[in-house]
Amino acid sequence: MKKSFEADTGRVLNIVINSLYSEKEIFLRELISNSSDALDKRRFLSLTDSSLGAENSEYKISIMIDKKNKSLTISDNGIGMDEEDLIKSLGTIARSGTSEFLAELEKKASEKKDADVNLIGQFGVGFYSSFMVADNVVVISRKAGSHDCFKWSSDGTTGYEIEKLDNAEVGTTITLTVKAAAKEFLDETRLSFITKKYSDHISYPIDFSAGVGKEKKTINSASALWTRDKKDITPDQYNEFFRHIGAGYGEPFLTIHSKAEGTVSYTNLLFIPDKRPFDLFTAERNSKLKLYANRVFITDNCEDILPKWLRFVYGIIDTPDLDLNVSREMLQHNPALKRISKSLIKKVINELKKIKEKDGQKYDLFWKEFGQAFKEGIYEDADNKKNILALSKFYSSKSDDTIFLSDYLEGMHKNQEAIFYISSDTLDRAKTSPHLEGLKAKGIEVLFFVDPIDTFWLQMLPEFEEKKFTSITKGTIDLSKFDNEVKNKKKSDDNEKKAEKPDFSKLIERIKAELGENVSDVRLSNKLVDSPSCLVADEVGMDVQMERIMKMHDKDFAGAPRILELNENHEVILQLNKMPDKKKELIKDASFLLFDQAKIMEGQMPVDLGGFTRRLTQFMSGALK
């Protein structure tokens, strides 16, 4: 049965086949890694279904070359695949982050970067790297528990064929017809070197044979890396294991390898990558850990070990304190896992604290990649929220780089009692907000909360070191307490003139009447310096960022009217205040322009776009006469 590759699969294969790579040898690592995973799955499933392990149960991986026929065969007696599995695993790519992955892959291919193949493996489609060295690939597989066997074959360009075979052993055999330009991969010494380089840590024996009927020899150590003593493991071995588990294609940002003995015993080998994975912000927020019990694979879908806010942590947890036949439901309520989870969270936080204190630049690399996900823990983890917040960084009005809250506290004015912040959907919008003007003029630093999660964790932790977080877009802020040491270049030099300031009460009533239900009130502002107006929520109201998030989830959400604040020192407001009653229409247009301008500065559209355009055009025409 002839089938075509799906579009995304075709794009991957096109890049693999037509691009140049210096490390073609990586294909062998990917195929061995897939075999190891298949053996893990069969070994685990056979614990609860003995029939799956009854046949050919000496778990191993085999490599065989046939120089005469220019073929290389990699086989395993793992879980195997049926027809549906072959189509799903080898003919399609259907997972979160596909578009981002392909964009990155094509970008690197166009730049002729060698990391492309590693990207393929990281995304879980390392099988396709076979086509770098093969003109044709044949996969024969029989799923454990089934009597049906299937053959999948392809040249990587014109699609693939699937046909049913009469008989085969449980597991999967992949045969590559090696390209003439890749004949080095038919050399016994070369293959042995590559296998030890990339796959020595695989816990199953990898047997090598120079042909049918030839002697087989095991070429790897066949011991799980995490079971070895740290002093016996080289950095290269750690790095290769990091790549083997799909954590990345470079070197890990952080490696945590330790053993715990006591009430609960376990070994952990954890990695934080140097780059965020493609699926970091998908709705599923899947765990990246594999759970073992005495080196027997249990599951790679266990969210009970590390919380979702640490989903960027990859690795292995191995404990003797689990029954091998433990069910998914039992895992969720297992007391041993709960203790392991608590301990691991503490370890990760403590390691990040060490990096923060010893190497600020390195910590910045972590924060750039994973800070947004890490901050989710402030909202989701009641036990650790204070530690997470202390490790969190934010942009501010005084720094181009992110700062810790402890840095903010050190720079606070002596009369300052609160941590001032502004929430926004973008950093640029936060930096240009009119709400900043008065505080900046007085030298007061304001934090920029620009990640969606910031709006939520503030509800769970409203203060830091006994200093309350205060939004500058809500209620009123008393700026007079900061006057004594601050230069305010907009402040009048003539104190007598200040005492003679105009009465704006009539103008305020006029504007309030014109805007009607669009605003809850109109008042003079004490924080505007350069802008004529801004919108403010009341003390217990919802700020504009929360409204924006609510509207994303409910298009009919309207939000509450807010307060329009006016800058009494701005020329526009001063001139409007002098307008006679007969200029009623002009005052009406100006009122709506001030309101719409304030909305635009927050990143919102005017309520009446046509009316806004008409009013703006009229004012421009008047100014040009």
Write out the DSSP string of 346-411. Answer: HHHHHHHHHHHHH-HHHHHHHHHHHHHHHTHHHHH-TTTHHHHHHT-EEEETTEEEEEEHHHHHHT
Helical packing angle, 452-460 and 544-553, nearest 10°: 110
Residue found by looking up tokens 């006994």 in the block:
466
| Residue 330 DSSP label | H
> Cα-Cα-Cα-Cα dihedral of 152, 156, 159, 161, to 10°?
-20
CA angle centred on 37, ends 35 and 42, rounded to 5°: 95
User: Using one digit for the tens of pLDDT, what is the confidence trace for 293-311?
Assistant: 887 777 877 778 899 999 9
CA distance 117 to 19: 10
Closest CA relative to residue 518, chosen from 580, 431, 611, 429: 611
Q: Cα(521)–Cα(537) distance, rounded to whole angstroms?
A: 10
DSSP SS3 for 336: helix
**What's the pLDDT at 386?**
97
Which range (63-77, 274-288, 385-399) has the least confidence?
274-288
Residue 98's pLDDT is: 54
DSSP character string of 275-326: S--TTTTSTT---EEEEEETTEEEES--TTTS-GGGTT-EEEEE-SSS-TT-
Average pLDDT, the chain: 87
- The whole-number pLDDT of residue 375 equals 97
Confidence of residue 324 (pLDDT cuts 50, 70, 90): low
User: Residue 346 corresponds to which amino acid?
Assistant: K
Are residues 31 and 127 in contact, defined by beta-carbon separation less than 8 angstroms?
yes
Task: For residue 301, give the amino acid letter.
Answer: N
Q: Are 275 and 287 in contact, with CB atoms under 8 Å apart? A: no
Neighbours of 544 (CB within 10 A): 26
Domains of the chain and CATH, by start: 2-221 (3.30.565.10), 226-363 (3.30.230.80), 375-490 (3.40.50.11260), 504-537+555-625 (1.20.120.790)
What is the sign of the dihedral through the CA atoms of 6, 12, 17 and 23? Answer: negative
Per-residue b/e over 291-312, b at no fewer than 16 CB within 10 Å?
Answer: bbbeebbbbbebbbbbbebbbb
Residues facing 268 on adjacent strands:
258, 317
Q: For residue range 545-604, what is the model confidence (pLDDT) as tens digits?
A: 888 888 888 888 878 899 999 999 999 999 999 998 888 889 999 999 999 999 999 988
pTM value? 0.76
Residue 114 CA, chain-centre distance (Å), reads 24
- Directed axis angle between helix 26-48 and helix 235-244, to 10°? 70
Q: Are strands 562-566 and 519-524 parallel, antiparallel or unpaired?
A: parallel
Q: Using CB atoms within 10 A of its CB, is residue 371 exposed (0-12), middle (13-18) or buried (19+)?
A: middle
In this prediction, residue 24 carries a pLDDT of 85
Per-residue confidence (pLDDT) for residue 62, from 0 to 100: 96
pLDDT tops 50 at residue 485: no
| pLDDT attached to residue 95 | 54
123 pLDDT tier (thresholds 50, 70, 90):
low
To the nearest whole percent, how much of the chain has pLDDT over 90? 58
- Find out whether 449 and 423 touch, Cβ atoms under 8 Å: yes
Tens of pLDDT, residue by residue over 406-465, are 999 999 999 999 999 999 999 999 999 999 999 999 999 999 999 999 999 998 999 999
- Between 26 and 116, the higher pLDDT residue: 26
